[in-house]
Amino acid sequence: MTTMGSQTHRRFWIVFLTVVTALALVPLGLPEFWRKFLTEILIWGLLAMSSDILIGYTGMVSFGHSAFFGLGLYGAAAALLVMRSPNLWIALAVGLAAAALVAVFVAYFATRLRDIYFAISTFVFSQIFYVIIFTWTDVTGGENGLYFTQPPFTIPGIWSGRFSTVSLHWFVLAVVALSYLALRRITQSPFGMVLQSIRENEPRTRAIGYHVERYKIVAVLLSGLFAGLSGTLYAIQHRFAAPDFVFFTVSGEVVIFNVMGGMGTLVGPVVGAAFFLLLREGLSRFWAEYYLIPLGIAFILMVIFMPQGLLGFWKRRLNQ
Amino acid sequence: MFEQILVQTVNGLVNGMVLALVASGLTLIFGIMDVVNFAHGDLVMLGAFTGAVTVAQTGNFWLGLLVASLVIAAFGALLQIVTLRPLIGRDSLTTIIATFGISLVLQKYALWQFGPTAQNIPQPIPGRFELFYLQYPWYRLGAAVMAGAIIGALYLFLKYGKYGIWIRATTQDRIMAGAMGIPVPWVHTGVFAIGAAMAAASGVLFAPLAAVTQTMGAEFTLRAFSVVVVGGMGNLGGSILAALFISLLEAYASLVVSPSQAVIVSFVVLILTLLFRPTGLFVPTPIVPTAK
């Protein structure tokens, strides 16, 4: 048993390090556009991964992840606009704090509800924040959004300089990879096991003596924090915040990433995000904004015929 | 001030009736099929466009209302057979996800088919009457009455019609209804078609009051969701009361803040409802959910 365990353990690290190394090296050989595109996939992948804690592990479908993402984005934007000399880490911290604040709010109210009621309430919460951001023009810039400058890439005592597309990619990759390890650790911990048991059978989990609501609140908080983190990364890459990112279509896309890639696998949603964004990139060249018609149809077909997502589908094919 | 409040009361009631028509279709679909129809607002939008095209061709508003309802009903039936029937027996969360996909496709289809410019339906009842300082159009009252009549017809159909009784039987006990010879899958299709027709009708009724755009669906979906949750999921009477309640509140709120911010009032009502009466404001006794 122990040898088996350490073997899969070693295999995981080998695969993980290979993939991360590949992701770190690939952009060196890519043109500028695709380099940025890869960074963006990682950022959306982190957002998708964060929602997987709720959708895949706890069985709570969140239709409001745009709120966490958006507040991370606007929080970082605020920090970068207010500070005289923009600092990367303070921007990250402020973005995370903003997302955490929203997450506390949503977690407190929404976790009292289950299933579709949870989904609807998260949806409504994200719309509340959308309306506030959209109409509070003095602070948020309203429809026009906010533009700000990119902070310099500083690691205190080691390195200081401007972001290039490659160093930005490495920075995002490092954050996403560490987040993945943290999330993986969380989902495999006793805490994560309780979340999965809530997904499988909530009344029984309660009967065993777990305080289900408390676990759900922490799950939403964690999910919101990581979603906020992806929002701050987006702010740093694009130097731009707009209310569109708080609109529920973003939340919907996050659910699509999860369904396409495979819920409850952490890696699946990242694969889903990559698949979706690549398809969008490819299709929108021919169909402009109508790309959502074929993409949406593909999505519906996957919901019906491939509910385990791409990753689950591959796994099943490999096992045959 | 008093006059303003009275005008807003009329406005709230008119908007509330149209919203009630949207929400009753949504709640009917949920009550019978356990389907949370994310694409409901987009059916409203498609109905409004179909109506606008028909009215532009024939010049007859009532024909437009009829054609839009029938076309969208048929479309809804097709949609249900193709996408939702394979999902029967799966988690109701799956249906949210699937109908979200449908919503995306319908929105872009409308953009492709009808173009990005807003369309309009002229008001079929031209007159106005004096309401204090306003020239209030008769049509607004007409739309509210029409919406009320359609909801009333639905109620009578469910109460006394043969197929209405089938529908109610399926709501109460799907398996038993099947055992008694009721074709349950077709009842589902029929209910989805009825819900779609009601959405389309409200879209056409609403169209003369505002512009028809391909993005109008999302707002309807959101508002109808709020109404349905506040009124109690699957509860027809509750939905109508909740629609009026929320619309009145929004109308009064828009005296103080801008209309786009007044939406927040209905969100707050929704949150308070979820907190204190998660089964809905207008349900007499909260039913304990049974374990599946």
Could you give all domains of chain A from N- to C-terminal order, each with its CATH number?
7-251 (1.10.3470)
Spell out which residues of chain A touch residue B90, defining contact as CB-CB under 8 Å: 307
Q: What single-letter DSSP state applies at residue B154?
A: H
**Euclidean distance between CA atoms A289 and A92, whole angstroms:** 32
pLDDT digits (tens, 9 = 90+) for A160-192: 777 788 888 888 999 999 999 999 999 889 999
Residue B112 dihedral angles phi and psi, to the nearest 5°: -70, -45
Cβ of A127 and B222 within 8 Å?
yes
Nearest Cβ partner for A290 among B83, B112, B258: B112
Task: Indicate the pTM of the whole model.
Answer: 0.85
**SS3 state of residue A162:** coil
Please report which helix (H) or strand (E) contains residue A222, including its range.
helix A212-238
| Bridge partners, B136 (sequence order) | B129
Nearest Cβ partner for B275 among A109, A256, A299: A109
Spell out which residues of chain A touch residue B270, defining contact as CB-CB under 8 Å: 121, 124
pLDDT digits (tens, 9 = 90+) for B227-264: 888 887 777 888 888 899 989 988 888 888 877 777 78
For chain B, domains (ranges, CATH) are 2-276 (1.10.3470)
Chain position carrying tokens 């599946």? B292
Catalogue the long-range contacts made by B240-243 (C-beta closer than 8 Å, 24 or more residues apart): B240/B20, B240/B23, B240/B24, B240/B151, B241/B281, B241/B282, B242/B23, B242/B280, B242/B281, B242/B282, B243/B16, B243/B17, B243/B19, B243/B20, B243/B23
Spell out which residues of chain B touch residue A259, defining contact as CB-CB under 8 Å: 97
**SS3 state of residue A158:** coil
Q: What does the mean pLDDT of chain B come to? A: 84
Please report which helix (H) or strand (E) contains residue B74, including its range.
helix B61-79
Residue at B33: amino acid letter? M
Cβ of B222 and A134 within 8 Å?
no
pLDDT on residue A49: 92
Q: Where are the strands (E) in chain B, listed by range?
A: 128-131, 134-137
pLDDT on residue A1: 44
CA-to-CA dists, residue A254 to A69, A104, B42, angstroms = 10, 20, 20
Model ipTM value: 0.82
**Euclidean distance between CA atoms A135 and A127, whole angstroms:** 12
Cβ contacts of B38 within 8 Å, gap of 6 or more: B96, B99, B100, B102, B103, B221
| Bridge partners, B135 (sequence order) | B130
Per-residue tokens: A203:
């009344």
Cβ of B271 and A124 within 8 Å?
yes
Residue A242 dihedral angles phi and psi, to the nearest 5°: -140, 150
pLDDT digits (tens, 9 = 90+) for B52-103: 899 888 888 888 889 999 999 999 999 999 888 888 777 777 888 889 889 9
